[in-house]
Amino acid sequence: MKNMMIMAAAMFLSLPFASAQNDTSKVKSTGVILHKESKAHIKPYGFVRNYFNYDSRRMLTVCGGEYLMIPYDEDWNMTETQAQTYGDDERFDRNAVPEAHLLALSSRFGVALEGGQLGQWSLAGRLEGDFAGFGTTNTVLRLRLAYVSFRHKDAHGLNHELLVGQDWHPLSGSIMPDVLGMAAGAPFRPHSRTPQLRYTLSLTRDFGFTAAALWQYQFTSPGPDGESAAYANRSLVLELFVGLNYRTREVYAQLGMDYTNLLIREESACVDASGNILYNHLDKNRCQSWSPTLYFQYTPLSGLFALKMRSTLARNLAHLNMLSGYARAIDADGAMAFIPMQASVSYLNVSVGSRWRANLFLGYQKNLGLADKDYTLVGAAPSAALYMKKGIGNINSIYRLAPSVSFNTKAFNIGLEYELTGVTYGQVASDGTVPNDDNLHQVLGHRLCAMVKYNF
């Protein structure tokens, strides 16, 4: 296994070198004229990163426990009434079990490429991977980034960039809060890398425009057949993003909108009067959603302070690792449709210092129920009509408080972070909300995270 991993890493890193060496001959054979024939400049980078995580109870996590979402709801072995008969000592919460992990799965390596021109367009690219993939084990080589970008400055001084390949979703971006945990603020921050075609134009020195068409791959939507990229990719109506950007040396802001269109294919049996199945009928229904977002970042040139915040009206954004999704619902006339669930999701991150850095992350999410209030959830058990991230839909609200302190040099980082995540659980109402009633209860999850990182 060790030899296979070494060989895979060597092959991964050798691809850009082979491409760079053969670039000129391939261009000549295809007849495309490069204004400047040159090999790509290759800059390898990466890090070895180890996380130690202690959780006070069972948590919803991925990547072997490194990527934290929320604490699971209580799961009692008996009711309070039964405990009065059998004794309180016999009653326990199955999820109140501490866990600890020490893993290096998120260790990363990659190469940044730059060089050559195609007409007036300069070429660049990136290839990046880590070991946090999915498979029979959690030590699977995973493709993170793989894209080619074409950049051009026209006669009017406008900068154009066209990116093709897998990169960060423009709703999340590569700009993250300064937390230590691998989840980088999720589920309060949209988090996804996905195949895309993205165009960016600088309208003025400070203002720009971004438009993207996106496909799903590693980060997917839930549905009747589980979480899958099929609902989005079979839709043939691409996920779209548009945004206005403002950037100076100290300020970055973005106002954006994401559009998602899922196609849900379901078969239902047509039967005769005796109950015999005649054939299977195919139903095709779509779920469309619009999610606006606002991002603001202030980082003075001194580098000793940073303020970052994002607020999103999340409608069916489960594929961005948010606790979101959609539902099967009906209107007053009995017509069925798939309606997005919506939530208000925000975070605020403040950091002070450079070599020694103190950071505070605050996140909050509020469940707002069905996006279309003319509909109600199908069935006597409303929660069964929900298609949510990891199947969790009985949430009223979530909050997170995460202070950290770290020591940082160019080659080495070490830090300690405490995360308090509180989830208010309850019962789902017909409008998709979780009302404030006697079933409402709060579950707290405590995580202690220690991180050691060596950069190259």
If you search the block for the tokens 């009223």, which residue do you land on? 396
DSSP structure string for 149-183: EEEEE-TTS-EEEEEEEEEE-TTT-S---S-SSTT
CA distance linking residue 200 with residue 6, whole number of Å: 37
Query: What are the helix and strand counts (H, E) for the chain?
Result: 3, 22
359 Cβ partners below 8 Å, 6+ apart? 177, 178, 179, 180, 349, 350, 351, 352, 403, 404, 405, 406, 417
Q: With 0-12 CB in 10 A as exposed, 13-18 as middle and 19+ as buried, what is 248?
A: exposed
Tokens encoding 3:
């030899």
pLDDT per position in the chain (456 positions), as tens? 444 444 444 444 444 444 444 444 444 444 444 555 667 799 999 999 999 999 999 999 988 889 999 999 999 999 888 988 888 888 999 999 999 999 999 999 999 999 988 888 999 999 999 998 876 666 789 999 999 999 999 988 889 999 999 999 998 877 889 999 999 999 999 999 999 999 999 988 899 999 999 999 999 999 999 999 999 999 999 999 999 999 999 999 999 999 999 999 988 888 878 778 887 888 899 999 999 999 999 999 998 999 999 999 999 999 999 999 999 999 999 999 999 999 999 999 999 999 999 999 999 999 999 999 999 999 889 999 999 999 999 999 999 999 999 999 999 999 999 999 999 999 999 999 999 888 999 999 999 999 999 999
Q: Look up the CATH number of the domain holding residue 358.
A: 2.40.160.10
CA distance linking residue 196 with residue 90, whole number of Å: 54
- Give the CB-side neighbour count of residue 456, counting CA atoms within 13 A: 10
Q: How many domains does the chain have?
A: 1
Q: With 0-12 CB in 10 A as exposed, 13-18 as middle and 19+ as buried, what is 388?
A: buried
Neighbours of 168 (CB within 10 A): 20
Which domain covers residue 416, as residue numbers? 2-455
The gap from C-alpha 337 to its chain's centroid, in whole angstroms, comes to 26
* Contact yes or no for 341/265 (Cβ under 8 A): no
| Cis check: omega of the bond before 187, within 30 degrees of 0 | yes
DSSP code, position 34: P
